[in-house]
Structure 1
């Protein structure tokens, strides 16, 4: 994809990598499918970086605006399926 990911440049390099891993997992869920386990592992690391629900919602909105993909929709699908493909 050719867009800028929403990142907070005050995050550490490790934090940026963890957030980027979630973005990649969401993209994979839309484009080819991803296992629930792989997605939730990336999501847990993301939640360690982005602690508040409001910050998570803001990042999801920004990510959806630039990519068309929703972190929330993939998370909801992970609650119902072992394989996620949107």
Structure 2
């Protein structure tokens, strides 16, 4: 278990949406996830975190604690219907 990067400025729904993306990324690395499921979570996430620079900061912080990359999963989702990062 590790500390997820979260902003004190997010409301409860924002945190739920961001946590859903973190869980989707974990799923991609641990068992695989469909592109549709991942992209649904990703779209909610970018509504909360709409700045590219903030997205990069969050991805770096998340990767530092989990060793999982949001960006790498997103890149794989571009060309695959099933994402398996194992």
* Fold-level similarity (TM above 0.5): yes
Matching of residues 2-81 of structure 1 within 5 Å: 2-81=1-80
Q: Deviations over 1:5-38 (max 9, x none)?
A: 0000210000000000000000000000000000
Question: What TM-score results when the alignment is normalised by the length of structure 1?
Answer: 0.98
RMSD: 0.3
Q: Deviations over 1:30-67 (max 9, x none)?
A: 00000000000000000000011000000000000000
What are the ranges of 5 or more consecutive residues in structure 2 without an aligned counterpart?
none
SS of residue in 1 equivalent to 2:7 = coil
Aligned length: 85
What are the ranges of 5 or more consecutive residues in structure 1 without an aligned counterpart?
none
Q: Structure 2 CA distance, aligned partners of 1:9 and 1:41?
A: 24
